Amino acid sequence: MVYVQKRHASRQVTPKPVGVSRFGALRLLDRDAALDGISGNLSRFYLSLPLAGLATLTVLYIAQRPLFYWMLREDRPVEWGQFALCVFTTVVAVLAGLRFARRGYWLPAAILIAVALVSLVLAGEEISWGQRAIGLATPADWGANNRQKETNFHNVNSVGAGLTADQISKVIELLIGLGGLTLSLLARHPRSRLGDRGWRLVMPPLVAAPAFAMMVAYQLMMLLLGVELSPAIVLQEWMELALYVSVALTLSCNFVRGGVPRPRPAGEDGPVSPAPVTETDRQALLGVATSVLLVTLVLAILTSLTGMVPGNVPTSLPRL
């Protein structure tokens, strides 16, 4: 044992940089995530969430099919999670846009305000604009052309030209996935047209890319192959939840970037200079998340009390 210690005593040991993986791809992800203050454990979580959730639901479908469908039904945990993430994204997008506007970055500010508007519409559509929470009846004319007899757009049977609102919704989600995936991969390349400073400020972290890619693959399959299998159709709820997680993560990073400029790697293979989120950033994001969670819980409770579920919303209510 003493001999071994002497033999290796003269060897120079280079310490492994904190948070950097031995594997090239994971090392790149660690370095990229660290620039936005995302720890190694969190980056693994966001990276694995889309496929891990899909695998879990597949097991549920095989072993506990009623639970599988319960999880993915309207007014259940997955859909309320979608709503909460969309509301969170709306608020954070506005805050991040204001930060960029104050610094004179008008392109990122405009992009983020547009994201806020889209997220607000998605949040409203997810819960039919609160119709079941406050017990509103669906106008008769609208209910006659809505698959679930509700006051929303994405369940409208026909919008003209032989198209349904559901098909349009699928195309929109496909475009969101393509946009997020394109920005996360191409905006980092300095020679890319998306390498402009404005686009780089709003690009998603690389750990968000799998969810964008999964949504693209799913919607292409549904649109091009016309899959009508029930489990494949309801799995859209999980695809949307994973997508909204990545969008919310991206907007949180945008909010942080809107503050003080963040440090960058020392070199191609050099250690990462961590960019921890400031206490102000953390408190702001936590405050938004807490407020959104409370609003979501209140709406979920009100929805359960009205007794309305998709498909049984009346087109008229008796007067009190």
The predicted structure's pLDDT at residue 6: 42
Confidence of residue 270 (pLDDT cuts 50, 70, 90): very low
The predicted structure's pLDDT at residue 195: 59
Q: Is the pTM of this model over 0.85?
A: no
Q: Greater confidence, 310 or 69?
A: 69
Region 232-249 average pLDDT: 96
Contact between 246 and 86 (Cβ < 8 Å): no
Q: Greater confidence, 167 or 273?
A: 167
Region 236-250 average pLDDT: 97
Confidence of residue 23 (pLDDT cuts 50, 70, 90): low
All structural domains of the chain with their residue ranges? 25-260+276-304
For the chain, what percent of residues have pLDDT higher than 70?
Answer: 81
pLDDT at 314 over 70: no
Q: Per residue in 159-208, pLDDT tens?
A: 777 788 888 899 999 999 999 999 998 877 666 666 566 788 899 999 99
Q: How far apart are CA 166 and CA 100, in angstroms?
A: 34
Q: Greater confidence, 311 or 155?
A: 155
The predicted structure's pLDDT at residue 312: 56
Q: How far apart are CA 69 and CA 139, in angstroms?
A: 29
Average pLDDT, the chain: 82
pLDDT at 31 over 80: yes
Q: How far apart are CA 90 and CA 117, in angstroms?
A: 7
pLDDT at 136 over 70: yes
pLDDT at 47 over 90: yes
